[in-house]
Amino acid sequence: MLVIRSDVHTAHHCLELDGGALIDSWESPSRAEHVDAAVDATPGFDLSPPDCFDRAAVEAVHDPGYVEFLSTAWLRWTGGGNTAPAAMAVGWPARRFRDVRPRHLEAQLGYYSFAADCSIAAGTWTAVAESAAIAHTAADRVLAGERAVFARCRPPGHHAMKDQFGGYCYLNNAAIAAQRLRSAGAGHVTVLDVDYHHGNGTQDIFYDRADVSVCNIHADPVEEFPYFLGHAEETGSGRGAGHNKNLPLPRGVDAVTWFASLDQAGSWVDSRGPEALVVSLGLDTFVDDPISHFQLQRSDFATLGQHLASFNLPTVVVMEGGYATTELGHNMVEVLTAFDEAR
């Protein structure tokens, strides 16, 4: 399998508010480093760097004003005399507030985000742009004839909404890949998100569209992040009615229950008739993940890879979450190797 990756991600490691304390984010550079080491130690992978960042491709799924904000926020932060190591919001537009874009940077940090679990640091934009380029390049390689390509993205993207960041995500890599496939002629694209946490950003971006369908298997948002999206009754709106599928599960489910939901998802994906598949591959469903609560074992990820291959579609696999850092690489290779062997 072809792997698109870069070391530029190491420029980004931000702070997050966790349990009332500011800590180094769980979404650390070592996540990608462990994945890269596992890939390098396993035969059968071809490596390639990404093409250049394509801002127009990003603005096809994200608000241009939001993209401009992300690309300039750190310079504005330091240019305003701030010496703190990360730019973070001090307030957010909540219920009964007006949707008015403020001028002040600290207010915009709240306007353009929905959670205090990620911030903007010196290398954030550089890494975010490179991660988007990786996803876009992976889609291009599939369009050029590769059957499946792994976009080793970092930071992840599936929580990034049209104009808000949060959940360690700034630009929505899976949405960028899906849109690239559509723009180049794929008749219908499906995004299948198997991360522990609901891909609220991908849902937001495609919720009123019929040409890209989105299916999530995830922890029930009544008790898990992102809390405010991901419920079963959210099925799409307007032209997108019926093209969004959420399969929320309670904390602690085992592999049998989880794979039963994957079977449901598979039937739903097939019913959409996609010409290409984008997989948001979060592996925080692992039993030892420190911030998640499903019970999948390492061997279950090989089974997952076999299931993904069974769609028999041109596929972009985009790396999302997974915070059992030392095990993440092994688990990722289990999925990718099994996918290749099952094709």
| Assigned token pair, 332 | 């990722």
Q: Is 43 helix (H, G, I), strand (E, B) or coil?
A: coil
Q: How far apart are CA 49 and CA 314, in angstroms?
A: 20
Q: Are strands 189-193 and 21-24 parallel, antiparallel or unpaired?
A: unpaired
Half-sphere exposure of 126 (CA within 13 A, CB side): 14
DSSP string, 55-116: HHHHHTTS-HHHHHHHHHHHHHHHHTT--SSSB--S----TT------SSHHHHHHHTBS-S
Active site residue 188: no
**Catalytic, out of 34, 159, 197, 330:** 159
Q: In what order do the strands lie in the sheet with 276-281?
A: 46-48, 2-4, 148-151, 315-319, 276-281, 189-193, 212-219, 244-249
Q: Is the CB of residue 26 less than 8 Å from the CB of residue 291? A: yes
Q: Are strands 21-24 and 15-18 parallel, antiparallel or unpaired?
A: antiparallel
Terminal CA-CA length for the chain: 11
Q: How far apart are CA 91 and CA 269, in angstroms?
A: 39
Handedness of CA 245, 248, 249, 251 (dihedral sign): positive
Q: Is the CB of residue 284 less than 8 Å from the CB of residue 197? A: yes
| Catalytic residue numbers, as ranges | 159
